[in-house]
Structure 1
Amino acid sequence: MGQPTAGGEFSDEVVDAIVARCKKGSYKCLLCKFFCACINRGNQACVESALYSLDAASGGTSPLLAEIPYNTMVRPPRAMLSTQDGRKGSRNWRFPNNPNYPEGYQRGAGDVVRPDVVIMNDGAGVPQGTNLAAVAEMKFPNDPNGWDSSNMQLRERQYRRIAQENNPDAEYIRIDKDICEKSCGKCGEEKTRPQTVPEVAPAPSIRWDRVFDGLSATAEILGGAALTVVSAGTAVVLVADDAAGIVIDDVALPLAVGGMTAGTAMVGHGSSRLLRAFGF
């Protein structure tokens, strides 16, 4: 069977599987599926929402109903259903003008109790009489009102009365994380993808020979550039002097041109060395 959605939508396949399991009387692990789907949200409201969604998806014929109050001052205890929606428990039963109001009701005396889930043999019927199949109470982790509390013990006595006095074949079922794990497998474990630690590439070793080559090549480029600039400037001055009729030693002009050539060669050679130093 697919996993019930915590408060979400139910496919027809899931609804049919839930109904089939109820007909087989396999209640505990079915309830544990809802419990475990909601355990990380940690409260009964999640289960209640899921069961309301299930009832809607089934067209109002789900065999599981949530939060139905029972008047235990009568025998057998009677379900107190909403006058507007007979599939839900009455919310206004405490008002004296409500037809569900129990005469003589005392708060805290167990006169009215509301089990977390009731299961019916026929989902189209009501949760009382021989149609009542099971009564269940769920305890989420860190619930301050534990199984051993006096309040819970009183409520459990009434839950057993609701089941047995309506239908001798009905049962009362406790649900909590330990019970579910002992009977039905692991519960509430988050499935996460394993996190892998990325491999860190080792830091590359420093090639000091290349560092020195690079520095030397850079110096050669700068020196060649400087020689080229200075030589070019000198050549321009000499040519200008000749044009003006001022004669300076003609030997200087060939030297300036030679300096430009040498400087250009240094820049080219240094550039090649620098590229090799960086692995090109």
Structure 2
Amino acid sequence: MGRLGMIGINTMAEKEFTLTYEFQNVGELGDRQNLDSPKEEHFGMEWKMSIDHRDGHLKVFLNTDVTENQEIHFDCTTKIFSKNKERTHSESDTRVFTKYGCWMHCTKIDWKTLNDEYLNDGKLEVEVHVKIRKNVLFPREPLRSFGEDTKQFSDITLKVADRRFYVSKLYLSSQSPYFATLFLGQFRESEKSEIELKDVNPQDLQYFLEFLYAEGGICEYTVQGILAIADMYDTPVAIKKCEEFLIDKSKLSLKHKLELAGKYRLEELKKVCLDKIESKEDIRSVVPENVDEMDPKILGELFKKTLTLI
């Protein structure tokens, strides 16, 4: 076990943070053995360090969960401190996390030098400062077309920005009370062949329609967009499937999941997230800097948990 150090976090705009951890019993590590720091959440992702004894060196690695469609470009400065911080081994580099490399080698030091000059009764303090330059999410390939090639099978066109989606009134109405009222009710829109949807991201609508027609396509990249549109257009099946994905498969942080649970009234997700909060550190990790941004009911539940931990 180790001791969690103080974390330095700059403003959100700069996207910088520092992981600091004191590893214990480092000198006892055998070849190809490793130790991990606890996970910490920064900017909606969980990060941790690992030290590894390999080939006569101690190596330091950085880890975060990267989704299939994601790249994280960042600068990192890694420091290994000797007893009383009299000596520092430091290395800086620019790296890219992809789905093919969620562990990133940061620095290494000769094992004999480590034992002679850096270990303090087997303890070793390691620091990694990270500056995220770019966090890229790439859209996946469409699962289904709703373009001109499907027009002959459509009886209604949804216009979003400069894109048109050719769909079926009856099918959408069977999935959504909102669309049933819009297409089949007494409103004038029911007589139109094209309806413009406001405040909708066309890519999110693509993913939403793919789900309705194929009941698939929910992933880390698409879940929030599908959820937003499903909530806007009252689509219970899509909301339920998004909630199940967030509970069973998503690697989003606990803080992010709680935000979605509050925003979209996902009671089962909220319960699962709250059950995972067992310490004051857990509570601190999910509370935003501005508590007014948190759902009042969730804030109330966290307050109750705080009282039990006093």
User: Is TM-score (shorter-chain normalized) higher than 0.5?
Assistant: no
Q: Which has the higher contact order (CA 8 A, sep 6+)?
A: 1
More helix by percentage = 1
Q: TM-score normalised to the size of structure 1?
A: 0.22
